[in-house]
């Protein structure tokens, strides 16, 4: 029963993270073609692969972070900052053709 609840929270966290990435991309005028999720059970992470005009980039998000961001403001703030950094990098690459 606990595993099912945790899995539901992880799924809710993934949904939130994907929506957040798409919203941040709209704010930064980054064109996201797709976001693919791959699970790595041994590492207990989900890997989000973002395909955009700047290329393909990945970010690994732990099960714990995703489960906590399903309903906690502090964890959401921390994860939002990581996602903002990724989308910011994509925006710079799209504009300049490279990252610093």
pLDDT in tens, 9-36: 999 999 999 999 999 999 999 999 999 9
Low-confidence residues of the chain, pLDDT below 50?
1-2
pTM of the predicted model, to two decimals?
0.87
| 8 Å CB contact between 8 and 18 | no
Q: How many CB atoms are closer than 10 A to CB 3?
A: 7
Q: Would you list the domain boundaries of the chain?
A: 2-94
Which pLDDT value is given to residue 95?
87
Q: List beta partners, residue 52.
A: 32, 55
Which pLDDT value is given to residue 2?
43
| 3-class SS of residue 86 | helix
Q: What angle do CA 10, 8, 36 make, to 5 degrees?
A: 50
């Amino acid at each position: 029963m606990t595993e099912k609840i945790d899995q539901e929270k992880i799924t809710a966290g993934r949904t939130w993270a994907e929506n957040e990435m798409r919203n941040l991309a709209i704010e930064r005028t980054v064109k996201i073609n797709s976001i693919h999720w791959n699970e790595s059970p041994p590492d207990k992470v989900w890997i989000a692969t973002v395909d955009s005009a700047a290329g393909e980039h990945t970010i690994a998000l732990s099960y714990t972070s995703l489960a906590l961001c399903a309903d906690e403001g502090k964890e959401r703030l921390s994860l939002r900052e990581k996602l903002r950094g990724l989308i910011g990098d994509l925006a710079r690459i799209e504009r300049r053709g490279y990252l610093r």
